Amino acid sequence: MSDSISLTTIQKRLAEGAPPGRVDEPTVRRLWWAALDTLQDDILLPRNPDQGIWLAAPLPALYEPRLLNCLKGWVWAPDELENLQLAHGGLLPPSRVRSIQERSYSNVGGYQRLPLRQEDGHDPLLLIITQDVQLALALQGEPGQRHLLMRSDPKTLSDLLKMLDLRLDSEDPEHAIQLRQALANLGPLQSNPELEKIFWPRLAERLAGMAPSLTLQSIPEISHPPKSREEPNQGSNAELNLLEALTHEVRTPLATIRTLIHTLLRRSDLPGVVVSRLQQIDAECTEQIDRFGLIFYAAELQRQPPDASILAHTDLGAMLTMLHPAWSQQLERRGVKLQLDITPDLPEVLSNPGRLEPMLGGLIDRTSRGLPAGGKLSMTLRPAGPRLKLQILSQVNNTKEQGSKDNDQNADLGPVLSWDPNTGSLQLSQAATQRMLASLGGLLTQRRDKGLTVFFPIAEENN
C-alpha cells in the first residue's frame, strides 16, 4: 500500500469534494505564490509558533527565516538539487544541498530532503502543522481546470498525515519515526474552524494589492510555446529540473528582502536618504526576481508545451504608451534613455494582452542588457501591410546597433538560456523567446544591425 502512495495521490485526496478549477497554469501559479505569502505573513508569523512540522514538494515552500528556525521540515525534491552547490560554486546554503545522511536533524534552518519519484508529478504541495495552525496547500487539476486547494479540516489533515507517514515509512522508517515524534511533541492540537475565513479574504487582498511589476508580476501568465515535434530527452529534463530549482532558490531570498524593505518603508521616521536607498534596493530586487521568474517559466514551458492559446483584440499602441514611464524609470537606473514613437490611430492586433505585457518587458530587458550608460533605446510601432511592426533599436554614440549586440557570440546553455560573454549576463535564448512570442501571435526577427523586430497580425472586425 505504502509503495503506491504518490504525492499525486495525496493531492487528489486533498481535492476531494472541491469543484473543478477554472484557471490556466500561469494564473494558478500566481495564486500559489500569493498563498505562500498569505500563509506565512498573515497566519503563521502573527502567532509566533515555537515548534511544528512542514512537508513540501517538489521544492521548499517556506522562506521566512523565523519559521525555518523553529519548524522541522521534509521536502521531496528532484535529485538534481544534490548537484547545485557543486555546479554553481556554493550559491545555495549548505543546508539546502547537503545529503540527509550527512546532516544532523537538529540543524537550525534546514530540512530533510527526500527523493521525488516520477509518479509524484511536479504540482506543489505544502502541509503545515503547529499547535494552533493546521493547513494544507496544493495545486491540482487538468490543464485549463487548475485550482489552488486549501484545507484545514481535521478529517482531511488526518488522512494526509496517515498517507505521508506510510510514504515516509516505505522510504526510510527513521524519517517516519522522527515525524511521529515531532507530532507527539506538539501535544493536543487546537483546530481553528475560522482559519479558512481568514485565509481566503487575506489572499484576495494580497492579490488585489499586488503592485504591477516591470517584467515579472504577470510573468506566470506568459503562454506556453507551440508544441515541438521533438520531446525533450532525459538529459534536457534533468537540465530543466535543475534550472527551475536554481531560479526558485534565487527568487526566494530576494522576495524575503523585498518583504523586509516594504516593512521598513511603512515607518515614518526614516531619513530621506534611507528611504531612497531602500527604494533602490527594492527596485533592483524586483528586476532580478522578474528576470528569474521569466527564466523559470520558460523552463516550465519547454518541458510541458500546452495547447494553442486563444488570441483576442489587443490595443498594442495603448499598451506601449501605458508601460513607457515604468520602463523609462527602470532603464534610467542604468543610464539608458528610452524613446517611444507610435503611429497614431493604429488598428488593434491579435494577441493576449495579459500575457503580452510582461513579455514586452522581457524584450526591453533583453535588448538593453548590453547597453552602456549614455546609450539610447528606441521603440517604434508602424503599420506593415496586414500586420503591425514593433521595432526596438539600440543606439550608442549616435550609431545604431542591433537590439541584442553580438548575439551571434552568445553561448547557448541548454534549450532555454544563453550567456553573453561580453556582459556576463544570462538571458532567454533566441529560440525560447521566439517560441513564447509565437504563442502570443508575434513573429520575432532579429538580424545584425537591424535590431529586434516583432510582427503582430492586425485583428479583423469579425475576429
Above 80 in pLDDT, residue 138? yes
What's the rounded Cα separation, in Å, for the pair 406 and 370? 10
Cβ neighbours around 339 below 10 Å, total = 13
Q: Which residue has the higher pLDDT, 291 or 165?
A: 165
SS3 312: strand
pTM: 0.48
Q: Could you tell me the pLDDT band of residue 87, with boundaries at 50, 70 and 90?
A: very low
331 close to 214: Cβ distance less than 8 angstroms: no
pLDDT over 70, % of the chain: 75
31 close to 124: Cβ distance less than 8 angstroms: no
Q: How far is CA 62 from CA 122, 320, 408, in A?
A: 17, 37, 40
Scanning the structure block, which residue is given the C-alpha cell 539608458?
A: 336
Output the pLDDT for position 93.
Answer: 31
Q: Could you tell me the pLDDT band of residue 27, with boundaries at 50, 70 and 90?
A: confident
Above 80 in pLDDT, residue 331? yes
E-only strand ranges, 206-359: 312-314, 337-342, 349-351
Above 60 in pLDDT, residue 299? yes
Nearest to 226 by CA among 453, 447, 441: 441
422-431 residue pLDDT tens: 666 777 788 8
Nearest to 199 by CA among 262, 297, 258, 126: 126
Above 60 in pLDDT, residue 169? yes
Scanning the structure block, which residue is given the C-alpha cell 531602500?
A: 278
CATH of domain 312-457: 3.30.565.10
Break the chain into its structural domains and give their ranges: 2-208, 219-303, 312-457
Output the pLDDT for position 105.
Answer: 31
Mean pLDDT to the nearest integer, 84-104: 32
Output the pLDDT for position 404.
Answer: 44
- C-alpha angle with apex 448: 445 to 453, nearest 5 degrees? 25
Above 70 in pLDDT, residue 85? no
Q: How far is CA 225 from CA 111, 298, 316, 439, in A?
A: 35, 9, 21, 5
Above 50 in pLDDT, residue 29? yes
Output the pLDDT for position 216.
Answer: 29
Q: Could you tell me the pLDDT band of residue 54, with boundaries at 50, 70 and 90?
A: very high
234-265 residue pLDDT tens: 446 666 767 767 777 777 778 778 878 887 88
Mean pLDDT to the nearest integer, 216-236: 38
Q: How far is CA 243 from CA 8, 62, 71, 88, 372, in A?
A: 23, 19, 27, 11, 29
130 close to 52: Cβ distance less than 8 angstroms: yes
